[in-house]
Amino acid sequence: MDRRRLTHALASDELPAYALGALDADESAALVEHLAECPFCQADQHRLDELVGLLGTAVPQTSPPPSLREQVLAQAAIEANAGPTGERPTLRLLPGWARAALAAAAALVLILTGAVAVLLYNQWQIRQELDTLRAEQREIASILAQSAWWAPVTAEASQSQPVVGRLYLEEGQAGVLVIDGLSPLGPGQVYQIWLIRADNTRVSAGVFTVDASRRATVLLHAPGTWSAYQGMGITVEPGPAGSPGPTGPRVAGCSLADWQPGGL
């Protein structure tokens, strides 16, 4: 069977596991083959190796007492002069201070190993989140560049300006909501987007918050096609995940009644 060839993105995801020895033989072989050709992954591996190498220097270096050398040599002499029957005297236990030091060192190594594993996992998780964010940004840019239909998002009377954003739709199931006029909310609150069907039932399309400049850009994916909905509304709901159905005041919305594939 031909060995799989890794891309830079796939190899980057596997490097933390490789540094911890968590890949199987085939995965390791494929990664080693990729590393020979990819300077970017080589640099990432070098950084990871340095991090794991810190374990060797994390335990404080101390000098043993002078008596330890004599004890080791004496025990070696006893072992060398064991009787012909192979019986050996019972080994003398290490002094209490030595046992305590070894136990402390072992515990420290375990703690540091766990900390490095957590750090590597967090690095992998951050990389995954960044990849997801980049993919969303590319999709948002594509929709904004190609969308031929948009509608103004008008505010309720409680808001400080009549139009607080725009909704851009594509012919599939995706859209982009661009907000530039909703007020920041207090702790524990979010704005929730509702798609309104012809029978007036509401379907949640996600939650968002705005920054200090009253702005937000939200990628939407509608259950079904946009033609199944007659409008969109925004309400204030408890955070961080919002509500199963609208419970807070409606602050803005728009009509989708004239939406047609390919534009107005």
Q: Which residue ranges make up each domain of the chain?
A: 1-60+94-140, 149-255
**Has residue 94 got a pLDDT over 80?**
no
The 10s digit of each residue's pLDDT in 109-167 is 666 666 666 676 677 777 777 777 787 788 888 888 877 788 899 998 766 789 999 99
Whole-angstrom CA distances from 212 to 136, 152, 182, 219, 251 are 22, 22, 10, 20, 18
Give the model's pLDDT for residue 263. Answer: 46
pLDDT of residue 5: 66
Residue 80 confidence (pLDDT) above 80: no
Residues whose CB is less than 8 angstroms from the CB of residue 222 and which lie 6 or more positions away in sequence, other chains included: 173, 174, 175, 195, 203, 205, 228, 229
What is the average per-residue pLDDT within 14-42?
76
| pLDDT at residue 6, rounded to an integer | 64
pLDDT for 264 equals: 41
Number of Cα atoms under 13 Å in the Cβ half of residue 92: 13
Task: Give the pLDDT of residue 132.
Answer: 76
Q: 149-255 — its CATH code?
A: 2.60.40.200
pLDDT higher at 22 or 183: 183
pLDDT in tens, 158-215: 667 899 999 998 877 889 999 999 999 999 999 999 999 989 999 999 999 999 999 9
Residue 15 main-chain phi, psi, to 5 deg: -60, -45
Q: Where is pLDDT greater, at 130 or 105?
A: 130
